Amino acid sequence: MRLMNTHATHIPFMKMHGLGNDFVVIDSRGRDSLMTEELARAMGDRHRGVGYDQLAEITDADDADIHLTFWNSDGSQAGACGNATRCVAQHVMSESGAKGVRIRTARGLLEARMTPGGPSVNMGLPQTHWQEVPLAQDVDTRALPIEGAPHAVGMGNPHAVFFVDNAEAVDLPMRGAAVEHDPLFPEATNVEFVSKLGENKLRMRVWERGAGITLACGSGACATLVAAHAQGITGAKAEIVLDGGSLFIEQRDDGVWMTGATAHVFDGQWRLT
């Protein structure tokens, strides 16, 4: 659904989701972007707008098939969004018939492929140095000086991964909101609470920066696998069970690959005037 008229009064959009992690997708290829903080907030309002966890805008790219920009429902931008990347990759590959797509994001150049388990995307190498996450000071990223000693991982956006006995028992609204804005994270952070279900199988609940509780978080699942593998809790490949379903994450030499289902829900138009 591309909008070619630069004087258009309506913006076509798609509603998509990956395991219930829901997105508005706007295809702006062939025209100037119309996205602003105000528009992101208006469309993100679940009562007066469309509602979404993140918004992904597709634009043209010189060195890739497409460029993606991500917005949170509070009007802020997100550096990475794994499930939205997979949703858009599914759309673009279905549109073109290609088996792969190269996507330019703030995270870098990402590669996506179609697999029997759904679209799979390489989210890049994890960022494990304190300045890369980023953190406000030089501390041990595997055990931050925060109650619960979370493991910090950057996946194009910051994550604080807590390993707990029972992720279901955590007061996610209270703990997630508090950690999101901890002074140790100058750009705020996503927050994951994780418990072990079995060999190479983890339960994860997530509080997303700028969005709150969501049913799934792709970059969070990647960060969780990286932290779990580093601490010997899992191997380099694991199933991450989220509220909306399972993602399959594998840490390879070329980056962290994420695979799972996506869905196109409906198409719509947003009136600008």
Positions marked active-site: 81, 217
**Short-list 11, 82, 28, 95, CA closest to 53:** 82
**Residue 127 vs residues 97, 135, 151: alpha-carbon distances, Å:** 33, 11, 12
Tokens of 90: 């599914």
**Residue 47 vs residues 10, 42, 244, 269, 271: alpha-carbon distances, Å:** 20, 10, 22, 16, 16
271 phi and psi angles, rounded to 5 deg? -85, 125
> What does the chain come to in residues?
273
205 phi and psi angles, rounded to 5 deg? -120, 145
Strand, coil or helix: 43: helix
Cis peptide before 134 (omega within 30 of 0): yes
| Cα–Cα dist 242/175, whole Å | 18
- Residue 201 belongs to what H/E stretch? strand 201-208
**Short-list 39, 63, 59, CA closest to 50:** 39
- The answer to whether 102 and 115 have CB atoms below 8 angstroms apart is no
**Short-list 48, 52, 46, 1, CA closest to 24:** 52
**Short-list 55, 19, 51, CA closest to 36:** 55
